[in-house]
């Protein structure tokens, strides 16, 4: 029994946020955001873990064997799909920003207007 996985999720979230806030490059920023989002995968999977539980797949495992929560695993799948969608959009915006301002530094982009 421990709280370590939850603490890891919290730590990854904070580190990712720090990266987003101090980033000097939009691509780096997108990856930092991905790091932040991956903390939610760890949190979801940890919440659903049952001690000594197997994967909730009963091919070759007898029905009734203690298994972990399948709901949070399905939610993690959704989470990953959403993160892919968000990253794709951010990278497209980064390409656009580079085309318009010639830089991928968020501070440099802030200077242009209109």
What's the rounded Cα separation, in Å, for the pair 83 and 67? 27
Find residue 67's DSSP bridge partners: 54
For 94, what's the count of Cα atoms within 13 Å in the CB-facing half-sphere?
17
Report if residue 2 touches another protein, rule: CB under 8 A: yes
Report if residue 77 touches another protein, rule: CB under 8 A: yes
What's the rounded Cα separation, in Å, for the pair 69 and 54? 10
CB 52 within 8 A of CB 65: no
* Sole binder of another protein in the list 27, 31, 35, 50 (CB under 8 A): 50
CB 49 within 8 A of CB 30: no
* Sole binder of another protein in the list 25, 30, 31, 49 (CB under 8 A): 49
Report if residue 68 touches another protein, rule: CB under 8 A: yes
Report if residue 22 touches another protein, rule: CB under 8 A: yes
Report if residue 111 touches another protein, rule: CB under 8 A: no
* Sole binder of another protein in the list 27, 38, 69, 103 (CB under 8 A): 69
CB 87 within 8 A of CB 107: no
What is the binding site for another protein (CB under 8 A)? Answer: 1-7, 10, 13-14, 17-18, 21-22, 46-53, 55-59, 63-64, 67-74, 77-78, 80-82, 84-86, 88-89, 91-93, 95-96, 99, 107
């Amino acid at each position: 029994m421990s709280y370590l996985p939850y603490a890891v999720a919290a730590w990854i979230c904070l580190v990712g946020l720090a990266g987003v806030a101090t980033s000097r490059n939009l691509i780096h920023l997108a990856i930092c955001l991905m790091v932040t989002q991956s903390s939610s995968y760890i949190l979801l999977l940890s919440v659903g873990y049952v001690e000594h539980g197997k994967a909730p797949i009963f091919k070759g495992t007898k029905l009734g064997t203690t298994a972990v929560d399948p709901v949070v695993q399905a939610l993690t799948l959704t989470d990953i799909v959403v993160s892919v969608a968000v990253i794709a959009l951010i990278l497209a915006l980064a390409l656009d920003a580079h085309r318009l301002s010639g830089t991928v530094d968020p501070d440099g982009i802030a200077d242009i207007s209109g």
